Structure 1
Amino acid sequence: MTTPAGTTPAGTTPAGTAPAGQRRVVLLGSTGSIGTQALDVIDRAGERFSVTAVCAGGGNLELLAEQALRWQVGWVGVSTPAAAEELRDRLAAGCPAGRTPPQVLAGPDATAQLATLDCDVVLNGVAGAQGLRATLAALEAGRTVALANKESLIAGGPLVLAAAKPGQLIPVDSEHSALAQCLRSGTAAEVRRLVLTASGGPFRGCRRADLEAVTPQQALAHPTWAMGPLITTNSATLVNKGLELIEAQLLFGVDYDRVEVVVHPQSVVHSMVEFVDGATLAQASPPDMRLPIALALAWPDRVAGAAPGLDWSQAQSWTFEPVDNEAFPAIELARAAGVAGGCAPAVYNAANEEAVAAFHSGACGFLGIVDTVRTVLERWLDGEHAAAGDPRDIADVEQAQLWARRQAAAVLGIG
C-alpha cells in the first residue's frame, strides 16, 4: 500500500486545476454523524467545495461506496482490511461506464495515508484516540485540519501543538468553534476566561444515587444532539465536557483556572468569552453541527445558508446553572489530568474509552465509567509515570494509552 501524498488519484481534479476558490476536502469518518453532515454542507454549498477522498471504519460499506461514487472521489479508505474486497466490488458495480472506480486503501494506516493527500482541508471525524495518527500526518503534510476528533488533540497534545503551524488547526466542536468566533473580538491579553456550555445530558439534575441503575439505552437518549455511541455516552457522564475543557486549553492557550463550564440545557449558547473589562461575548445558534462544520471547512469565511438561524419572533428562555461536580466528577478529573500534562490526558481518555465499551457490553455500571477513570488516572499520577514529562513521539502516547486500557480492564475485572 503506497502513500498517496503527491499523486493525482483517478477521478479527481489534478492538483492546481480546481476551480478558483474551491476547497478540496478529504473526509475521514465519512459515514459517521460528522461525516454525513459535512457532506450535506458540501452538497448545499454549490461549487465551493469538492471531495477528494472519503474514509470510514467499514461498518457501513453501502453508504461508504455511495458517498465515494456520488462525489466522484479518487480514493476511498477503510480501516478493516477484510472489508476492502467487498468495497471494491461495490465501487466497480456502481461506477458509471467510462469512469475509473476510486482506488481503495485498507488497513489501520489508511486513514493517516489519506490525510496526506493533496487537498486544502482534512476533516478528521474519526471517533476516539485512533484519529491521532491521521491528525499528525495531515499537519506534517501541511494540510489545514478541521478537527472533530478532539481525542487526538487531547491524547497527543504536545505532539499535535508542535506539528501545527498558526491557523492550521481549526476546531469543529460547536463549543470551540464558538470560542474561536468570540475570540475574534479581542486580543489574548484582553481575555479573562473561557466559559464552555454543557447541555447537562439526559441526567441533568440527577444525584449520584439516582445514576446507579442507568442503562445504555438511557445513556444514549441525549436530549439535544444526535451523535455516535461513544460521544453520546461521554455526554451523559460529562466526560465529553471534560475532554472539551482540555481541548479548549490546548487550542487557545488559556490557563486551566480560567476555563470554566456551565450547564445550559437549551444548547443555544455554544460557549462564551469574558473579557477583562467585564464584557461577555457569546455565540448563539440552534443546536446544529452543520454550522461549525461549515465554518471549519471555509475558515475564516462563513458559508451562507449552512444552517438555520434563531427565530427571534418566538418567545424563548435560556437558563444557566452550575455543574454538580459530586454527581458528575468527570470535568474536575479532566482538569487534574490537564494540569498534570504529559500523557495524563491520554490516560484519562483511554481509560474512559475502555470503560464505556465495558458499560455497553454489560461489564460495567454507569457510575463505574468515571470511577474507573478516576482510579486509573490516580494510579498514573501516583506512580512512576508522574515525572515522565511530555511524550517524545506517538509511540509514547500509544504506550500510555495501552497502559491505561489494561489498567481499566483490570479495575473492571475484565482483563
Structure 2
Amino acid sequence: GNFVINNASIVDNSGKIIAKSNVLVNSKKIYQNAAYSDTGIYATNIGLVAKEDIENIGGNIVADNNVSIYSENGDIKNSKKLSIHENDYHNVFTDVRGSGDIVGNKISIVANNVENLGADIKAQDKIQIGARKNLVIGNLEAVDKKVKNGGKDFVLDEKKTNVGSNLKAKDISLTSLGNVGIIGSNVVADNKMNIEAKGDIAIVAGKDSTLHEEKHSKSKGFGRSESSTDIAYATHNVASNIIGDKVNIASEKNISLLGSNVQANTKGQIKADGNITQAGVKDTNYSYHKKTKTGFMGLTSKSVTDENYAEKAILSATLAGDKGLKYDSKNNLILSGVKVVSSGNINLKGNNVEINPLETKSYNKHEEVKKGFSGSFSPKGISVSYGKDKLESKTDILNQTASQIVSNKDINIEATDKVRAKSVDIYAKNDVNISGDNGVEISTANNT
C-alpha cells in the first residue's frame, strides 16, 4: 500500500519507511539521519515535498520507479554519514555509518541550494538536479591516524582520503541559477551530460594525503645523546570526472576545470560568456631527515639534515569522439597543463587564447653542522679554538610539462585579440589553423 504524511510540521526519520507502492511526504521540514546502515525510505515511487529544508544524512532513498525531492523555499542536503572516532591512545579512524544513496529510475531534486556530499545518486534513466541558487556535488574527508608515543619514541601515521560523490544515469542534467561546484567527484552519463549555470562553474580535484612523522632520542650518559627526526608528507589529487556520450558545459559567467577530466564519447562543448580556465595540478612529495649526535657534556655535536621536495605534473584532460570538441569563450580561454584530444575536429575560440605548460618544482637540500674544538700547529705553537662549522648544498630543479592538443582531423585556434602558445605540442592529422586578430605568439619555456 501507500505511506502518506500530509501537512506535518517536521518529519524526522531514523528508522525504515517501507511501502509496496508509494511514499508521499508533505511537511514544513523533512529530516532523515541514519541510525543504522539500512535507515531509509523504500518504495515503488517516493515523493518528498517540504516548504523549507530537506536533509538526509546517511539514510537511503530507494525507489523502483521515480524519486522526487522538492523544497519550495529551502535547501536540500544529501550526504554520506561518516563517523570519526578517537580512542584513548589518540588513534583516529573513520567508518561509514550510512551511505546516503538515492536510487531510482528517474530522480528529480529541486531546491534553493542543493548539496550532495560524498553520496551516490544513481538512476536507470534520468537524474535532474536544479538549484535556484547554488548546486554542489562535493566530497567529504575520511581521516585515519595512528600514534605511538613512548616518551623518547614518537611515531605518527596519518592518512586523509577524499570521499567523493558518484552520479550515474543514462542522462544527467545539472542546472543552477547561481553557481555549480563539483569537487573530487564523478558524474557519469551513458548518453547526454548537461551542466549549465547562470553563475560560475567550477570542476576541481579533491585531495588525498599521507603523513609519517617519527622522532627518537637516546641518552648515553655524561651529557651524550642521539636524536633523529623523520617526516614524510605526500599529496595526491583526486580528479573530478565528467563523462557522457554528448557533453555540454555552459556558463553565463566563468568555467574553471582544475585537475579534472571531461570525456565526451562522441561530441563535447565547453562554453562560457566569461573566462574558461583549464589547468593541471601537482602531486607533491616532501621528506625531511635530521640526525644529531651530542658529545661529552654537550660540548661537541654534529647534525646532518636532508630535505627533499618534488612536484609531479598531473595534466587535466578533455577527450572527445568523432563529432569533435569545442571550447568557446567570449572572454579569455586559458589552458595550462592540459591534454585535449579528439578523433574529430578541435575548435578553440576566445578573445585571448593562451596555451601554457604546467610548471613543477623540486629541490634537494643537505646541511651538516659541527660544534666543538679544533686545533692547529704553527711556529708560535699550538692553537686551540671552539666554534661551529656549517656545510650546506642545495639543488633546485624547474620542469615544464607541455600541453598537448591532438586531433585526428583539424585543429582551429581563433582569437579576436591574441593567441599565445608556449611549449605546446599541437598535432592534427589534417590541418592546423591558428589566427589572432592582433597576432600570434609562439614561444618555448625552459627547464632549469
The TM-score range, normalised by the shorter chain, is: under 0.3
- In proportion to residue count, which structure has more strand? 2
- In proportion to residue count, which structure has more helix? 1
